[in-house]
Structure formats: C-alpha cells, structure tokens
Amino acid sequence: MSGVSLIDCDYHLPRYAGAYLAVNRGKALFVDNNTSHSIPLLMAELANSGLTPSDVEFIIITHVHLDHAGGTSALLKRCPNATVLAHPRAAPHLIDPGKLITSAKQVYGEEKFSELYGVIEPIPTSRVRSLEDDESLPFGDGMLRFIHTRGHANHHFCILYESPREPGQEHREESAIFTGDAFGIAYPDLQTNGLFIFPSTSPTDFDADEARASIRKIFASGATEALLTHFGSVTDLEAGKEQLLLGIDRSEKILQDAVSLPIDGEALQDFCLKHGEENMRAHAAASGLAYDGATKKILEVDLDLNAQGLAYRVLKERAKEKASADLNGRESN
C-alpha cells in the first residue's frame, strides 16, 4: 500500500520479523516494533520518510508477544506525541509488563532475555488507548479499523488501513490489513515457487476454531493485501486463506491425537514437533519448495514454538476433560 514501508528488525535472521511505518499527510504511525534493539532501525526509516519523532501519532501493537511489542516503551520515549493503541486485553500488560518480563526470563534467563529484548519499562496509562472490536480511528485522510482476531492470542487484533473514498466511489481505492500473527507466517526466502504460508500455533493461547474464524475475518475485510509481521506483503489472500486453514486442520489433528496418548513433558513436546515437521514437509512438497537445510534453518524456531503451543493446548484439553469427567461423576453419585 502506498505510504507504508516494511522495516527489517534483524531479529534472529534477516527478513524474519518486521515493523511497519505508515505516513499520511505529515503524520506517522508504527505497527509492531519488535524489541528495544530495533528502535534505531525504526527511527532511521522515519527520518528517511522526511518526518521526525514528534510527527508519530500512533504506536500500534497487534499483541504483546515480545517479538511484536517488546520495544514499545523504548519507542514511546522517542515519540513525545504518540499514543499506544492496543487490544483491551493487551493494554494492561503494557502498563504493567511485570508478568511478561518474569515469564520471558524464566524461559530465557536474565542474560539471554537482555540479549533478545533489552529493557522493557511500564508505559503511563495516559498514553495507552484500548480499541474495541470494529472500532475506527482516522489517520491522515485514511481510516484505521480494528478487528479483534483470537486464535493465536486472546489479546490480538488486526488493523485495516483504508485510503479515503473519493466522492461517488463505492469502495476505497486502497486497503491493507496489518495481521500480526493472525494470518500466518510467510518468510520471503521461502517464496521460491509461489506462496508458502503457514499458521503460528505458539504458546499459550492457540485455539483452532478461533484461528479459523480470524483467518476468515481477515479475508472478508476487503483488504487487497495482508501485511505480515513475519514477513511482508501477501496479495493473494484467497490462496493464503486456503493454505492457513489446511495448516490449522493439520495442527488440530496433532492436538487431538496427542490428547489421548499417555505421554507428557519432553515426550509430548517431541510428538508435537515430529508430526509438526511432517506436516511442514508435506506442505513444502505440495508448494514445490525444497525441504533442504536452508529451509529447515529458517523454519526451526517456528517448528519448535508451534510444537510448544500444541503441547500446552494438549494439557489444557486434558484438564478440561478431567474436570468434565469429575463433574459427571459427582452428579451421578
């Protein structure tokens, strides 16, 4: 979409995680910001656009996972007139990021956390605004519409950015939707033989039904392109939708198979990883993508995260089944 640029945040690998800068009539906004280490890259792109940090009106995060929102407090310090826009369930974690930080440090340790994410500080409540489902805001002479999209995270939304409608026009000339992780992952280095896109099932909120509903919402939004944080523009939304729905179906099958198996811990993780990689290999073959060492290097982090998400969901499903069985047992006595 005109006036929108993608910034490679150089996170983990080149062209792996990005942020977006949109400029309209002397105002700017950022969508997702990666980590505090990425802020110089965002500021450089802003300067290249001819604007200053004082011209930034909005800093928008699709959700609070740290590869999307870890740099929010650092970016806000640089942009004195900006307001952070977030899902109502995400806003509290920006104002008080303590739980996010503690959780991430438990996973990575203090040193690795600092290396990956730098410093994350609380954001003043007065500088955070929550957006309800289907709420709209003007930006320049365009319009932003916020669409709640669960399935990857319960606090996730997407942002439809529409150009102004000319007098007498039924439709706006341009529209793009910033999808965070709700419309999957499509790394540029894997687009060698047409579109290759797959869903994220990373912990801890994966929900297959909600993920499918969100994919369909995005497709039905009327956007002419999807702008993915991982990574870049997808213009064939119909093909993207079909690949993602198939990927969700395959992931759900792993989850259903694992629920009834007597495995836990590392064995459960290994089961989800093994079958997840089998599915990815089949998807690559169907897409004409060589599943070689270079491909596996790009996909290894996502394969592991997706397996973690499925394993976490398996435990939740087992707990639900046990609670239901216990309730039925009490009622029958």
Rounded to the nearest angstrom, the gap between the alpha carbon of residue 82 and the centroid of all alpha carbons in its chain is 22
Q: What is the mean pLDDT of residues 3-18?
A: 96
Segment holding 320, helix H or strand E = helix 293-332
Does any domain span residue 85?
A: no
Does any domain span residue 4?
A: no
pLDDT band for position 107 (50/70/90)? confident
| pLDDT of amino acid 331 | 65
Identify the residue with better confidence: 1 or 45: 45
The pair phi, psi for residue 236, each rounded to 5°, is -95, 80
Residue with tokens 């995270």: 153
| pLDDT of amino acid 106 | 83
- Side by side, the strands of the sheet bearing 142-148 are 136-139, 142-148, 157-162, 175-180, 225-228, 232-234
Q: What residues make up the domain containing 290?
A: 188-332
| pLDDT of amino acid 24 | 96
Q: What is the pLDDT of residues 143-170, one digit of tens each?
A: 999 999 999 999 999 999 998 766 656 6
Does any domain span residue 181?
A: no
Mean pLDDT of the chain: 94
Does any domain span residue 29?
A: no
Question: Quick check: bond before 204 cis, omega within 30?
Answer: yes
**Beta-carbon neighbour count of residue 48 at 10 Å?**
11
Number of domains in the chain: 1
Residue 316 in this model has a pLDDT that exceeds 80? yes
Residue 231 in this model has a pLDDT that exceeds 90? yes
Residue 50 in this model has a pLDDT that exceeds 90? yes
Distance from C-alpha of 8 to C-alpha of 265, rounded to nearest angstrom: 35
Does any domain span residue 216?
A: yes
Does any domain span residue 277?
A: yes
Residue 250 in this model has a pLDDT that exceeds 70? yes
| pLDDT of amino acid 104 | 87
**Beta-carbon neighbour count of residue 253 at 10 Å?**
13
Residue 333 in this model has a pLDDT that exceeds 70? no
Q: What is the pLDDT of residues 129-149, one digit of tens each?
A: 999 999 999 999 999 999 999
Does any domain span residue 265?
A: yes
Distance from C-alpha of 276 to C-alpha of 195, rounded to nearest angstrom: 19
| pLDDT of amino acid 49 | 97
| pLDDT of amino acid 77 | 97
Q: What is the mean pLDDT of residues 281-306?
A: 96
pLDDT band for position 313 (50/70/90)? very high
| pLDDT of amino acid 322 | 80
| pLDDT of amino acid 241 | 98
Distance from C-alpha of 31 to C-alpha of 227, rounded to nearest angstrom: 10
CA-nearest of 127, 311, 288 to 202 is 311
Report the share of the chain in percent with pLDDT over 90. Answer: 86
Does any domain span residue 246?
A: yes
